[in-house]
Amino acid sequence: MTPPSDTPAPSDYDGDVSPGGPAQTRELAHLVITKVAVDPEMSNNCYLLRCRHTGEQVLVDAAADAATLLGLVGEAGLDTVVTTHQHWDHHRALAEVVAATGAEVVVGTPDADAVTEQTGVTATRRVGAGDTVAVGDCTLQVVPIAGHTPGSVALVYDDRPSGGRPHLFTGDSLFPGGVGNTFGDEAAFAQLVDEVETKLFDALPDETWFYPGHGGDSTLGAERASIPEWRARGW
């Protein structure tokens, strides 16, 4: 395969995708991000990340509809699938995608056994704080965010050295308008809000663009002032 050009094409990416509709692609200096929504009932987001220099690819959440995901992967192959957390709707296509591509399977350590039990797919890498995931020449920082599930992970790609902004993949830990569901567990909710605030909002600038597990995108700056409201309402 011939690696793609190093020159990003203009993009009208806004992150507004829907199941059955087209994917959207955002081209950065070194990384290409493609977002697609799958399953009309759950409307999960899946993200294919491609290094512009090597062509290597990483998929964030093989949520459903393996045919769509494998179509995005194409002939370039897939090096890694990161499963952001153990909930069933985020890994329904994992077994089929891994069988077709031989991709490495990355899961947050506390969720890894549950993902294997539910999918039959062994986590080949269990990750936590300080770990990274390579996308060719690009690097994703792993940020564990407990609360929605014990082993949920977020991923950060920092494009600031190239004049861009950080890009954050949050799974179901953070959405526009609030943190993820903790199903009435007050302790888990408090933990989730604390970890989202300290590990994401306190660590990253307002211009950080984040990509959640369902629905549209946002920036940390657009959400930051609402954290006290989220704490007060308890969900």
Q: Is the pLDDT of residue 1 over 50?
A: no
pLDDT digits (tens, 9 = 90+) for 131-145: 999 999 999 999 999
pLDDT at residue 61, as a whole number: 98
- Sorting pLDDT into bands at 50, 70 and 90, what band is 3? very low
Q: How many Å separate Cα 21 from the centre of its chain? A: 19
Which residue is it, tokens 């600031």?
A: 160
Q: Within 10 A of 45 (CB to CB), how many other CB atoms are there?
A: 24
Percentage of residues in the chain having pLDDT higher than 90: 94
Write the CB contacts of 229 (distance below 8 Å, at least 6 apart in sequence): none
pLDDT digits (tens, 9 = 90+) for 71-120: 999 999 999 999 999 999 999 999 999 999 999 999 999 999 999 999 99
What whole-number distance in Å separates Cα of residue 34 and Cα of residue 31? 10
pLDDT digits (tens, 9 = 90+) for 144-169: 999 999 999 999 999 999 999 999 99
Q: Is the pLDDT of residue 126 over 60?
A: yes
CATH of the domain at 165: 3.60.15.10
Q: Within 10 A of 214 (CB to CB), how many other CB atoms are there?
A: 16
Instruction: Please give the single-letter amino acid code of residue 41.
Output: E
In a domain, residue 3? The reply is no
In a domain, residue 206? The reply is yes
Please answer whether residues 48 and 34 qualify as being in contact, where contact means their C-beta atoms are separated by less than 8 angstroms.
Answer: yes
In a domain, residue 1? The reply is no
DSSP readout, 41-67? TT-EEEEEEEETTT--EEEE---S-HH
pLDDT digits (tens, 9 = 90+) for 203-231: 999 999 999 999 999 999 999 999 999 99
pLDDT digits (tens, 9 = 90+) for 55-74: 999 999 999 999 999 999 99
pLDDT at residue 167, as a whole number: 98
Percentage of residues in the chain having pLDDT higher than 70: 95
User: What average pLDDT does the structure give for the chain?
Assistant: 95
In a domain, residue 17? The reply is no
In a domain, residue 8? The reply is no
**Helix 66-73 / helix 94-101 crossing angle, nearest 10 deg:** 30
What whole-number distance in Å separates Cα of residue 73 and Cα of residue 59? 9
Query: How many folded domains does the chain comprise?
Result: 1
| Structural tokens at position 98 | 């891994």
Q: What is this structure's pTM?
A: 0.95
* Polymer length of the chain: 235
Domain limits for position 223? 24-233
- Sorting pLDDT into bands at 50, 70 and 90, what band is 10? low
pLDDT at residue 2, as a whole number: 36
In a domain, residue 56? The reply is yes
